[in-house]
Structure 1
Amino acid sequence: MIAQTAAAPAAAAASAPMPDTAAAPPTPARQADSLNLERIVVTTASMARSKLRSSLSVTTIDDDLVRAMNPQTQAEVLRLIPGMIDQGGNGPGGNANISVRGLPVTTGGSPFVQIQEDGLPTVLFGDMNFGNNDYWIRFNRSNSIEAVRGGSASVLASGAPGAVINFVSDTGTVGGGSVGLESALNYNATKGYFTAAGALAEGLHFHADGFVIQGRGLRDPGFDAQKGYQIKANLTKDLGTLGYVRFNVKLLDDTEPLYTSYPSLVHAGSSGFTGLSPFPGFDARTGSTVGVYNEVINVVDSTTGQLTRRRTDGLHPVANAYGLQLHLTPGGGFTIDDKFRYTQMRGTFSNNTMGLAMPSSIIGSTVNGQTVGSIVYANGPSKGQAFTGSYLNTGTQTFTRMSDMGSRANDLNASKTFDLAGGKTSVTGGLFYMDQHIAQDWHINAHYQTLEGVNPAGLDLLSTTGQLLTLNGVSGFNTARGPGVNRTYDLSAANTAPYLTANWESGALQLDAGVRHDMLRVNGWAESASAATTQTSLIDGSLVSSSVLDPATREALHYDASYSSYSVGALYAVNNDTSVFGRVSRGGRFNVDRNILSGYTNPDGSLNDSGRQKVVSHVKQQEIGVKNRGQFGELAYSANATLFHSSYGSSNFDLTQGPTGTYYQSAYESTGVELEGSLRSGGFAMVASMTWTDAKVTANAQGADPQNLVSSGVGNRPAGVPDLMYMLAPSYRIGDFMGGVMIVGRGRSNVNTSSQYFAPAEVLVNMNMSWRFMPGATVDLNVHNLFDKLLADGHLNQSSLASLQANGTINGLPVGTGGVLNGRAVVLGLNYEF
């Protein structure tokens, strides 16, 4: 069958091994290879080698392991990969900060991690504002994930010196299929899915899979926040000894809610906080800042100034991708491979964020030129009545239209294998090209609403003279965080990268090296609002501010940039079940849309001196590792261990931080160990991983003026990098029943680079059970966050006890805000294979 049905985590460990590529016959250790060390590596690999014989740190995640985890967000899946760091509490559709091996995220997104689908990047830059790489991907049944950390990712991918995460599709070489239905038991959501594969004719086979989802979601906003579908299919024509040609298509249209920082009561000490308690009236595990009273928000058009209504759809990506792969083996040791994909992508990002405040900080302040005298309900059952709550939410309303995020990508390479110096040599030359379009317009409103987790109502401000200073809770359209954040831009970033790799193998020894040169060409423009286009006027009787685009701010973008990368590795096969490897790599990435409107360009669109220094960030990595499998009596095991050292320097700009933006000049280094392993004996199986990281800041400067940056935090642990991460997933099978748990934990992490204020260690426990009640049919029960813990996901917005106390206390506990993982989620599934 094309998809395995057991939902327990060790089902991946029980899967059949890949065909053995060595000359020796399979040993018992190989037959029980739980980590699939014989699987051929397809991600950032210039030669077809097994995981055991590749000088790379590679992790494979199969569908069964993901189903056991029952992830509530796309990013949570990545916690199964050693070394991978994510803050996955932002919602099931994406928008997580993803990094690896202690490389922190300065301004958001995934700056050093590339997400691929079948070997081509989903987007060229993983950290685009309102366009992160995890927006456009959905894990579906029969997929697997292959993750390469460090190593050849520097020379066989662009902008991915940290890691490449490749979502690999089944290609239908084994016929069959499945249909299934999942339904949440303690919230409103239903998901149906299918897979199908088989031969259509001799030498012609296909695979298709998809899902459809609808429901309110765990954080019920009072309407269907989850609704959409994905369909993927590929068709392969075998050309015999000449290779194959493959066509593929993906259609994605999926609306998912966005989660932001939420309030909690903080158990805090002088050096860090030790846990959270629910905020009265807003349980961060299930609460939402979106409800029936802000399901639709008002937006002022940046050009015309007209008021329009938009749905608060959370994250709504639409992606249609069409691809072609030609793999030719004409003989004589030659191989030619070309992957092409054309993608149409667009979408919207809309949400209400969290800003914690007390009424006393609002009353008496100046809003729209008037003194605030009182606060009343703007809508809901108490509309017009005085607001008497102790706290309110001053977070912004955000609506961003991603009008065009499409791309064209092509990766062509040719390799030749021949004998040299007593060994087998393979040389590969390739050319990668990708043209990424980035066209967006931003609308961020200043807004007030009640601090309630269910259907929060808007709050209107009244001046001391009785004048309304808000319209349905909005005091300023396109003005929150400064008028410059109201921006529109349309640019194309084309990256051309020739690369060359060479591999030599003789007996147990392998040597390989690669180089790559990335060349970027950016063309386009950007424009924002300014103080000159900000006005205060009466709209429907309310005195509110608004801003539109200012042509005087228009920035031309016409520049080139480049960087070179290298990677050198070696592997020695001690025996058929053990290998050791080492590798040194240097890679880079471009800073593009996050640096627009930052003063880094000349009037003609070329980079000025400051811009040329900040358009590229570099990462260096060194790693040594060992891979081993074996058997002690009835107990079979497999294990990988990698010792790594990473360092990088980065320059960046973030306009969303403060009215004029914030410039960053930073450098970091980290040393750590990645471990992954598995055990199996009879009906017992277990997979596990652990990463320990010692990271520190070696340079850190930031400020509103790039010429006058303030340094702080040097020597500290960078924010958001846990010292320990681990996953433990034991399971047991008895006949047709399998049950297991998955324990995902992380140690302490700093919440602010400058102050060394730490979040506590946390543990998430999931449970899964599966019963095959008839041939081909199973029923699965998955429970996410089994003990319904309030977990801060290693993140808290406040950086010190003093700032926590500025928000006051409830029952003697300070009030703070931060990202929080979902509460308990129980899902029942029925699956039938044919």
Structure 2
Amino acid sequence: MNSHLRIFVRHLFATLVLLGLAAPLAFAQSGRIAGKITDTKGGPQIGATVVVEETKAGASTNADGTFLINNVPNGSYTLRVSYVGALSQTKRVTVPGAENVAMTLQEDTKSLDEVIVTGVFDKRTRMESSVAISTLNAKQIDRLVPQSAADLLKNVPGVYVNTSAGEVHNVVYSRGVSANSVGSLADPTNGYYYVSLQEDGLPVTAVSSGTISSDYFFRNDATIQRLEAVRGGTSSITSANAPGGIFNFLTKTGVTEGQNEVRLRYGLEGNGKQPYYRADVNYGDKIGDKGLSYNVGGFYRYANGARYAGYPFNEGGQFKFNITKASEKGSIRFYAKYLDDHNGVTVPLVGQGFNNDIRLAPGVEKTDSYLLNGVSTQIPNGSATNLITFDPTNLAHSRDFTAGLSFNYDLSDTWTLTNNGKYSRKNLDIDTNIATNFTYLNDFVTGVFTGSLNLGPGLVTYRDRSTGAVLAQVQQGFAQVPGAPAGTLMPTSTVLNSTLNGPVPNALRYSGSLKSQTKLDEFVDQLTLSKRLANGSINGGIFFSSSHIVGAPEMLGAVLGLSQIGSRADLVDVTFQHTGGPMGGPGPGVGPVYQVSQPGTGYLKLGGSFGYGNYDYQNNQIAGFLGNTLNFGEQLSLDYGVRFEHISLKGTNFRTVPANPTGDPNFGGIDGNPLTIYDNYYGVLGQNNVAFNKQLNTFSYSAGLNYKINDRNAVYVRYTRGQKSPDLSFYQTYQTGDIANGNDPQNQNINQVELGYKVKTNALSLALTPFYSLLSNVGTTTLANDENNQLYYTPIFYNKVQTFGVELEGDYTPFRSLNIRGAVTVQSAKYPTWKTYNVGGNGRADDVVVDYSGNKAENNPSVIITLTPTYSVGKFYALVQWKYLGDRQANQGNAYYLPAFSQFDAAAGYSFTKKISMALNVNNIFDVLGIMGSSSPGSILESFSPQNLTKAQVQANPNAVHSIVPIQPRAYFLSAVYKF
């Protein structure tokens, strides 16, 4: 905390210096303009911006809706009043005599008239800006029932969203800038790699990795007033290390008509099979008449999930609070949040076929769950004596305490100082299975994963753990490799008998797992000084973040398990006994029976058998930015900006070494008993520590021209060059000192060009945006296993992704009762350069370079559409939302594609009184399958390497079974709202 205190003091000192420099500007004597701004119901419009057009002097309204602008020379002026979600208003006034100005703001029903604050340095309407930005207000959000905050982003053109995993661990990217957002089913990825998920203008977290994704620490609830979403463009300048876009959720504050409510929701997920309970509340009010107001709210939710695992899939909630003091010169706000939530991540189901013929395998249902059953156990954490609990019912447990202070102060009529800073303490504890797939009994790799292969030739028996019945027996042995020198052996697995009758013959479900405990202490602050000019504005500032991240442990393969392929199946019991036949040939069992799985749980290889490590990082980031807007008359405006960032990361990776590096079959493991195998494969910490200290600089710039042809038409053009530094996952590949010393981080480059045409009439608001993006210098490496079954990373290649596309966003009201809102993206993404490794089997000897240059980019849909017609009459409304996702290449080799699909959601609501209303929502009405991800068929190693699958292999076996990830099945929700 001392370091954070010092940082705060430095920022406070800098703020005081700026105040001292700018204060003399406030003492010029002249007339004044004062008055009150109200909403359509007569209430005070708090936080509205009032600007004198001719001089750019301005002020914000306080808690009473009043404002004051001093030092205005005598004369006639035009006042412009703007507020987020309201139509801008103008009025001519004369000084002296302008001390009782009264104006009423009307609600904005056309999106191009909305005033935006994200991605721009000064508030302006979308019609006046050269930024591709979309908005959703509280009413539009409330009428949908998104399964996650990311689900709302499907309403934004140019944005790909994958929420098949559930409320967290989503994937979001824009305009094909996606390379590090997509991974295999076995590889945790950071789905917000190129974009910034923000809450009230600051990133939810300033750092990220495969497990530290910002959506673990953010929830949409009744406290959210508005969403503003920027694609590309100025996000390189106005956000930290996020050139792909900004998604900023703005919180309700103070007193706003209609914001106080209690919302109760009951649902049935999993095609009407599993209950869902949720309560949201939000309340704000004034405190006396001194400009004080507050807002408090949050939610609690309990749900079994669409694929019930036998324990809650989502359980927890959050509490948010803010208090604001408004004055004639500005405002100051204290805010806080506490989140405590458990969330599951959906694992793949068993599918069959390719391209348009992908389907569920026989006997598999959309609502099946392959999550581990709720059985906990103790596992070694870096030694035989340091044990921790692995409990799959814990799921992903996110906790976040955040407290912050923001203020804005008018130093004079034209100078404004703004600062927003927060401290947060985040904890993420994950106990869940990943890398879930099926493995064949006749594949010797199954014996590698269980640990039985190290015991030599013998009989492996799989039993039902609850009944003791034999499910299958496999003869494990070795055979001479044909054509190889005598004595060169290969392992063999022969199925002697099997009663397994699941969707994949002679196969079991394999479950890897992740045990991750991450602590993140973070301070984030942004200071901005703005000067309103007669013909524009100039803005400069500093962004700073200090993040201390400790991962202890970060353990892949915390436990392994095998089960029958079926929903909520228990793990099987695995034993081994030597046989009398030569080289493992058939023969009676001899000698003792080895317990390969843990009795009572069925878990295999406790304690990170794939190698793991703790880590301790200190990440500091400081950025300076400058933006300038110039207005050439009322029609043409130019804005440009630059951003320089310096990233410093100092840390240590504490890697494990195998406790039994030689594979000695007599190694007793934790309990000292050589006949128990499940505790023999853990790693030992303390013998392989890798320290490093890396520095990295990024430089980004952007410029745009906006030309307002008339009040109804405008065009713009923008060019941006952004840079993206690696996230923490890059530094976790430093497994040895040689790698850390010889491998410096490299920035990725993102070049973007966009054109925009905007049209606004009384009935129509439309924005058409052709775009081009080139993502280059993408460092890619492959996670593999060496001869000792320990993880390693292949050498890095630097690759490119190129995307051409067109975005279309519209809001059309052909008559009063009907509104149609839509977002359409048509794009083509490919790899100008893309090389990677096919790692083959264990070890580096068979690693081969594969060139995919010229192929279509993986998982970039050709078409994305969201269309929402809403019919409203009197107290009733009804809407249907159509979501269409075009086909996407399933891997970099373009071996097959994931088919296009449509999803329909519907909602209807009725207001019984001004205070009481109810709504019914049905998501995925037609219960479509909707494939979002897929793995390769074949052995388990092949399934975890989807990039190695070829078109020839697909054509040779078009009905092969393999794992797939579908969207969430049909769900029903009934909501009741009481406003007060």
TM-score normalised over the length of structure 1 = 0.89
Match of 1:197 among 284, 288, 291: 284
Note closer, same or farther for the CA distance 1:761–1:546 as it changes in structure 2 (3 Å cut).
same
Tell whether 2:585 aligns with 1:490.
no
Contact kept? 1:153, 1:162, Cα under 8 Å:
yes
The equivalent of 1:568 in structure 2 is 703
Q: Matches of residues 744-755 of structure 1 in structure 2 within 5 Å?
A: 744-755=883-894
For the aligned residues, what is the CA RMSD? 3.0
Contact kept? 2:934, 2:963, Cα under 8 Å:
no
Match of 1:318 among 392, 399, 402: 399
C-alpha distance in structure 2 between counterparts of 1:279 and 1:296, whole Å: 30
What is the identity, as a one-letter code, of the residue corresponding to 1:392? L
Q: Secondary structure at the match of 1:405?
A: strand
The equivalent of 2:827 in structure 1 is 693
Deviation at 1:553, TM superposition (A): 2.4
Q: Matches of residues 457-476 of structure 1 in structure 2 within 5 Å?
A: 457-465=570-578, 466-471=593-598, 472-476=601-605
The equivalent of 2:174 in structure 1 is 100
Q: Secondary structure at the match of 1:52?
A: helix
Contact kept? 1:723, 1:747, Cα under 8 Å:
yes
C-alpha distance in structure 2 between counterparts of 1:364 and 1:151, whole Å: 49
Contact kept? 1:87, 1:794, Cα under 8 Å:
no
Tell whether 2:307 aligns with 1:219.
yes
Contact kept? 2:347, 2:371, Cα under 8 Å:
no
CA shift digits 1:517-538 (9 cap, x unpaired): 1001111211222346656545
The equivalent of 2:764 in structure 1 is 637
Contact kept? 1:750, 1:758, Cα under 8 Å:
yes
Deviation at 1:768, TM superposition (A): 0.8
C-alpha distance in structure 1 between counterparts of 2:235 and 2:210, whole Å: 23
Contact kept? 1:115, 1:133, Cα under 8 Å:
yes
Note closer, same or farther for the CA distance 1:654–1:35 as it changes in structure 2 (3 Å cut).
farther
The equivalent of 1:660 in structure 2 is 792
What is the identity, as a one-letter code, of the residue corresponding to 1:97? V
CA shift digits 1:133-183 (9 cap, x unpaired): 211111112412111111111111111111011111111231551112111
Q: Secondary structure at the match of 1:155?
A: helix
C-alpha distance in structure 2 between counterparts of 1:743 and 1:200, whole Å: 44
Deviation at 1:67, TM superposition (A): 4.0
Q: Matches of residues 471-550 of structure 1 in structure 2 within 5 Å?
A: 471=598, 472-480=601-609, 482-483=610-611, 486-507=612-633, 508-531=635-658, 534=661, 537-538=668-669, 539=671, 541-544=675-678, 545-550=680-685
What is the identity, as a one-letter code, of the residue corresponding to 1:48? K
Identity %: 21
What is the identity, as a one-letter code, of the residue corresponding to 1:412? L
Contact kept? 2:896, 2:954, Cα under 8 Å:
no
The equivalent of 1:57 in structure 2 is 132
The structure with the larger Rg is: 2
Contact kept? 1:379, 1:457, Cα under 8 Å:
yes
The equivalent of 2:348 in structure 1 is 261
Tell whether 2:904 aligns with 1:765.
yes
Tell whether 2:813 aligns with 1:682.
no
Note closer, same or farther for the CA distance 1:473–1:707 as it changes in structure 2 (3 Å cut).
closer
Match of 1:617 among 734, 748, 772: 748
Note closer, same or farther for the CA distance 1:363–1:247 as it changes in structure 2 (3 Å cut).
closer
Note closer, same or farther for the CA distance 1:24–1:660 as it changes in structure 2 (3 Å cut).
farther
CA shift digits 1:496-541 (9 cap, x unpaired): 0011111111221111111111001111211222346656545575
Match of 2:560 among 439, 443, 447: 447
What is the identity, as a one-letter code, of the residue corresponding to 1:19? L
What is the identity, as a one-letter code, of the residue corresponding to 1:661? Y
Note closer, same or farther for the CA distance 1:517–1:68 as it changes in structure 2 (3 Å cut).
same
Note closer, same or farther for the CA distance 1:641–1:650 as it changes in structure 2 (3 Å cut).
same
C-alpha distance in structure 2 between counterparts of 1:500 and 1:617, whole Å: 22
C-alpha distance in structure 1 between counterparts of 2:122 and 2:426, whole Å: 32
Deviation at 1:664, TM superposition (A): 4.3
Contact kept? 1:178, 1:196, Cα under 8 Å:
yes
Note closer, same or farther for the CA distance 1:802–1:815 as it changes in structure 2 (3 Å cut).
farther
C-alpha distance in structure 1 between counterparts of 2:161 and 2:471, whole Å: 43
The equivalent of 1:18 in structure 2 is 86
Tell whether 2:354 aligns with 1:245.
no
C-alpha distance in structure 2 between counterparts of 1:359 and 1:699, whole Å: 39
Tell whether 2:822 aligns with 1:672.
no
Contact kept? 1:320, 1:345, Cα under 8 Å:
yes
Deviation at 1:35, TM superposition (A): 4.3
What is the identity, as a one-letter code, of the residue corresponding to 2:605? G
C-alpha distance in structure 2 between counterparts of 1:600 and 1:361, whole Å: 30
Tell whether 2:516 aligns with 1:429.
no
C-alpha distance in structure 2 between counterparts of 1:619 and 1:693, whole Å: 17
C-alpha distance in structure 2 between counterparts of 1:204 and 1:695, whole Å: 51
Match of 1:89 among 144, 149, 164: 164
Q: Secondary structure at the match of 2:153?
A: helix
Structure 2 stretches of 5 or more lacking a match? Answer: 1-37, 42-82, 94-104, 184-188, 473-497, 579-592, 786-790, 937-945
Contact kept? 1:594, 1:654, Cα under 8 Å:
no
C-alpha distance in structure 2 between counterparts of 1:725 and 1:747, whole Å: 6
Deviation at 1:388, TM superposition (A): 2.5
What is the identity, as a one-letter code, of the residue corresponding to 1:823? P
The equivalent of 1:12 in structure 2 is none
Match of 1:717 among 851, 856, 871: 856
The equivalent of 1:11 in structure 2 is none
C-alpha distance in structure 2 between counterparts of 1:372 and 1:307, whole Å: 32
Contact kept? 2:311, 2:374, Cα under 8 Å:
no
Deviation at 1:308, TM superposition (A): 3.6
Q: Secondary structure at the match of 1:551?
A: strand
Deviation at 1:561, TM superposition (A): 0.9
Deviation at 1:280, TM superposition (A): 3.8
**Does 1 or 2 have the higher relative contact order (CA < 8 Å, sep 6+)?**
1
Contact kept? 1:33, 1:638, Cα under 8 Å:
no
C-alpha distance in structure 2 between counterparts of 1:177 and 1:32, whole Å: 18
C-alpha distance in structure 1 between counterparts of 2:349 and 2:928, whole Å: 15
Contact kept? 2:85, 2:115, Cα under 8 Å:
no
CA shift digits 1:420-471 (9 cap, x unpaired): xxxx131111000011222112223352332445322112332243422222
Q: Secondary structure at the match of 1:37?
A: helix
Contact kept? 1:448, 1:460, Cα under 8 Å:
no
Note closer, same or farther for the CA distance 1:626–1:417 as it changes in structure 2 (3 Å cut).
same
Of 784-793 and 445-454, deviating more is 445-454
Note closer, same or farther for the CA distance 1:817–1:33 as it changes in structure 2 (3 Å cut).
same
Contact kept? 1:378, 1:473, Cα under 8 Å:
no
Deviation at 1:337, TM superposition (A): 0.3
Note closer, same or farther for the CA distance 1:706–1:738 as it changes in structure 2 (3 Å cut).
farther
Tell whether 2:903 aligns with 1:823.
no
Q: Secondary structure at the match of 1:134?
A: helix
CA shift digits 1:317-370 (9 cap, x unpaired): 100110100100121410100000001100212212312222222598453412
C-alpha distance in structure 1 between counterparts of 2:251 and 2:606, whole Å: 44
The equivalent of 1:9 in structure 2 is none
Deviation at 1:833, TM superposition (A): 0.9
What is the identity, as a one-letter code, of the residue corresponding to 1:393? R
Q: Matches of residues 728-743 of structure 1 in structure 2 within 5 Å?
A: 728-743=867-882
Tell whether 2:317 aligns with 1:229.
yes
Deviation at 1:652, TM superposition (A): 3.5
C-alpha distance in structure 2 between counterparts of 1:363 and 1:495, whole Å: 44
The equivalent of 2:154 in structure 1 is 79
Contact kept? 1:364, 1:373, Cα under 8 Å:
no
C-alpha distance in structure 2 between counterparts of 1:721 and 1:282, whole Å: 28
What is the identity, as a one-letter code, of the residue corresponding to 2:826? W
TM-score normalised over the length of structure 2 = 0.76
Q: Matches of residues 31-180 of structure 1 in structure 2 within 5 Å?
A: 34-92=109-167, 94-106=168-180, 107=183, 108-109=189-190, 110-126=192-208, 128-143=209-224, 144-175=226-257, 176-180=259-263
Note closer, same or farther for the CA distance 1:102–1:655 as it changes in structure 2 (3 Å cut).
closer
Q: Secondary structure at the match of 1:360?
A: coil
Note closer, same or farther for the CA distance 1:35–1:460 as it changes in structure 2 (3 Å cut).
farther
Deviation at 1:294, TM superposition (A): 3.7
Of 426-435 and 445-454, deviating more is 445-454
The equivalent of 2:32 in structure 1 is none
CA shift digits 1:83-119 (9 cap, x unpaired): 1112221122x11222110112335212211111100
What is the identity, as a one-letter code, of the residue corresponding to 1:79? K
C-alpha distance in structure 2 between counterparts of 1:326 and 1:759, whole Å: 48
The equivalent of 2:517 in structure 1 is 401
Deviation at 1:557, TM superposition (A): 2.3
Note closer, same or farther for the CA distance 1:347–1:372 as it changes in structure 2 (3 Å cut).
farther
C-alpha distance in structure 2 between counterparts of 1:21 and 1:714, whole Å: 54
Q: Secondary structure at the match of 1:413?
A: strand
